[in-house]
């Protein structure tokens, strides 16, 4: 909440991420009524139901409920790689920027980024050019990771052509494929292809309930039965063995029932927000990159820094995330309305107008 100068209390507009959503009354009721057991022992019925449903959604044999997408990704690295191996990722990959160095510290692999300037996507030729073979000197390449949608790319959706070329390039070199599909449903809605179709070429898939679907906690890792059996042990090793986790799984199941069809609203709101921001002098938005629910707004060099602008917006009840010295990231979600997006753009215009007035 935010208090205006007139003393009126208005709701804050939180555009920092789609992870900031609050459980609805219906979701809270589902949490309260969930049937539970000990999931480490495999007998939590609600978790088991979620895992079966997620496997079907993603077109895989099995899935494992884990606390976070970062853990799902790290388990996938451990399944496919040995310590000292190399993994090919896109530029700005979540694994490289937002998982606290876990790829090196926990999985023991090094990441090599390809596809410079392509918003996190790349091509099969990039894979072929980065592959290192088995030698005494170099790290052998074991795995290719695709992030769809791509966070730091601004919610980029992979084209079918790029995906097909990467899959061919990986298979031609005997490499495994992992999909970081934390926002896979956003990609599915944007390109009108099912999650299972988008996940089909990959050996393992990470998928999050706590982003566009609005659940408070949880992701799954999906794949073949033997890999998911091994994943259960790795989850325990990493401290992710949860007991009566059906309370969390109940929220995820409710989200699958109620929050999938509305994802397109987030995309429409992001497009509206992007167009309003792009009309503000000194603000640049690459509208072609606004494909889902993430907007990257770049501030001209004569304006305050992204951190300074974000602080000024916070004072007006609009929360954004600085993404570098001159870039703001704004993410739409189920707790942000069309009116809130319009108000956020107005507030940014007000902040920059006020700054310009001080420079006169």
pLDDT at 6: 43
Q: Are residues 227 and 294 in the same domain?
A: no
Share of the chain above pLDDT 70, in %: 97
pLDDT digits (tens, 9 = 90+) for 125-175: 999 999 998 888 899 999 999 999 999 999 999 999 999 999 999 999 999
Q: Are residues 165 and 280 in the same domain?
A: no
The answer as to whether 28 is a domain residue is no
Q: Are residues 146 and 243 in the same domain?
A: yes
Give yes or no for a contact between 309 and 328, defined as CB atoms under 8 angstroms apart. Answer: yes
pLDDT digits (tens, 9 = 90+) for 226-273: 999 999 999 999 999 999 999 999 999 999 999 999 999 999 999 999
Q: What is the dihedral of CA 93, 94, 98, 102, to 10 degrees?
A: -90
CATH number of domain containing 304 = 3.90.1150.10
| Full-model pTM | 0.95
Q: Are residues 53 and 11 in the same domain?
A: no
Per the listing, tokens 């974000």 go with 310
Best CA proximity match to 291, nearest among 268, 322, 275 = 268
> What single-letter DSSP state applies at residue 287?
G
Q: Are residues 276 and 229 in the same domain?
A: no
Give yes or no for a contact between 169 and 201, defined as CB atoms under 8 angstroms apart. Answer: no
Q: Are residues 7 and 58 in the same domain?
A: no
Overall domain count for the chain: 2
CATH number of domain containing 222 = 3.40.640.10
> Which element (helix H / strand E) includes 298?
strand 294-299
**Domain containing 86: what range?**
34-258
Burial of 260 (0-12, 13-18, 19+ CB in 10 A): middle
The answer as to whether 26 is a domain residue is no
* Domain stops at, among 217, 238, 258: 258
């Amino acid at each position: 909440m935010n208090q205006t100068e007139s003393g009126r209390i208005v709701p804050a507009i939180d555009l920092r991420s789609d992870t900031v959503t609050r459980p609805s009354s219906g979701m809270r009721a589902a949490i309260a009524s969930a049937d539970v057991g000990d999931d480490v022992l495999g007998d939590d019925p609600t978790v088991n139901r979620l895992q079966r449903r997620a496997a079907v959604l993603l077109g895989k044999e099995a899935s494992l409920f884990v606390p976070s997408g970062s853990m799902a990704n790290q388990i996938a690295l451990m399944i496919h790689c040995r310590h000292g191996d190399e993994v090919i990722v896109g530029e700005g990959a979540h694994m490289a920027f937002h998982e606290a160095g876990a790829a090196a510290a926990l999985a023991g692999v090094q990441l090599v980024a390809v596809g410079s300037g392509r918003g996190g996507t790349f091509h099969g030729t990039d894979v072929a050019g980065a592959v290192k073979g088995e030698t005494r000197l170099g790290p052998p390449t074991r795995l290719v990771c695709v992030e769809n949608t791509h966070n730091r790319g601004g919610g980029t959706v992979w084209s079918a052509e790029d995906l097909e070329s990467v899959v061919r390039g990986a298979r031609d070199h005997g490499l495994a494929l992992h999909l970081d599909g934390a926002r896979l449903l956003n990609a599915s809605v944007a390109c009108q292809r099912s999650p299972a179709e988008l996940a089909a070429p990959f050996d393992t898939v990470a998928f999050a309930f706590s982003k566009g679907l609005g659940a408070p906690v949880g992701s799954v890792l999906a794949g073949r039965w033997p890999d998911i059996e091994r994943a259960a042990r790795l989850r325990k090793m990493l401290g992710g063995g949860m007991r009566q986790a059906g309370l969390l799984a109940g929220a995820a199941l409710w989200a699958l029932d109620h929050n999938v069809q509305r994802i397109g609203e987030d995309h429409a709101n992001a497009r509206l927000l992007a167009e309003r921001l792009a009309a503000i002098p000194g603000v640049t938005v690459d509208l072609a990159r606004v494909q889902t629910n993430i907007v990257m707004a770049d501030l001209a060099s004569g304006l305050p820094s992204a951190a300074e602008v974000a602080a000024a917006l916070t004072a007006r009840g609009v929360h954004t995330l600085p993404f570098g010295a001159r870039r703001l990231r704004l993410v739409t979600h189920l707790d942000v309305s069309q009116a809130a997006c319009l108000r956020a753009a107005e507030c940014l215009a007000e902040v920059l107008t006020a700054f310009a007035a001080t420079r006169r």
